[in-house]
Amino acid sequence: MDFDFYGNAVQEYLAEFEENTRRVLKKIKIPLAEIELQIQDEKEKIEKLISTNKEYAKLLMDLQVYQNNIERHMVSLTQFAKRKNETNPGYVIQSWLRDRNTLEFLRLWEKEHNPHYFNDEAAKNLIEKTHEPSFTLTAKIWITETNARGIESKQGSGGGTLAVEPIAVDFITWLSPERRYELIKLISKRALLGI
């Protein structure tokens, strides 16, 4: 199958998958032949997924490549933001956080998944400030003021802004109208088919 359409996304995903699979399965003493079979099965799944829907497949592979915390399924927003601004990815994330709809989306996620700790009043106050021309919001401020858990901000080497998968998908589709369009087409197609 021709993977040129995807740039390095397929190769990055497969390399990451192979490395993680070998590391995990070696620890639990799975035979090398079985490890290779699992890797081959994954490659076949990827080819099938790609043939079904190119943009959606690329989005899923990107999420896998940038998933930093496997237990909590946190995805690096910073890595995606570097595609738009290599030197200042934080500015890209700040622009996303200035959007009222983004904050409403984050608020909905937190109310569902973090109801006991999330400070909804603080979130409402930040959302109201989006009308102010000088309004600036960083992930760190959002987290500190609202006790949010869907986003994490880490300083230093290997740091950056991380988010749970649904929030990461919102960020990715905000960055890429092409991905948003393909995702909407897929959702519409499935709704029409009753899937």
* Residue 65, pLDDT score: 57
Q: Select from 185, 171, 187 the least CA-distant residue to 79.
A: 171
Least reliable range by pLDDT among 27-36, 51-60, 184-193: 51-60
Q: Closest Cα partner for 66 from 155, 172, 140?
A: 172
One domain for residues 87 and 142: yes
Contacts of 50 (CB under 8 A, 6+ apart): 1, 3, 6, 10, 57
User: What gap in Å lies between CA 69 and CA 76, rounded to an integer?
Assistant: 9
Q: What is the mean pLDDT of residues 124-138?
A: 94
45 and 23 together in one domain: yes
The count of structural domains within the chain is 2
Q: 32 exposed, middle or buried (CB, 10 Å; 0-12, 13-18, 19+)? A: exposed
Which domain does 26 fall in, by range? Answer: 1-53
On whether both 33 and 92 belong to a single domain, the answer is no
Does 58 fall in a domain? no
Identify whether 60 is part of a domain. Answer: no
What is the band of 186 on the pLDDT scale with cuts at 50, 70, 90? confident
* pLDDT higher at 10 or 84: 84
Determine the pLDDT at residue 1. 45
Higher pLDDT, residue 130 or 29: 130
Asked whether the whole model's pTM tops 0.85, one would answer: no
Residue range 67-91, pLDDT digits in tens: 544 445 688 899 889 989 999 999 9
Q: What's the whole-number mean pLDDT along residues 93-109?
A: 97
101 shares its domain with 183: yes
**Could you give the residue ranges of the DSSP H alpha helices within the chain?**
9-27, 32-52, 54-65, 77-81, 89-98, 100-113, 120-128, 139-146, 165-175, 177-193
Please compute the mean of the pLDDT values over residues 164-179 and round it to a whole number: 90
Tell me: do 28 and 76 sit in the same domain: no
For residues 180 and 117, membership in a common domain is answered with yes
Mean residue pLDDT of the chain comes to: 82
Question: What is the length of the chain?
Answer: 195
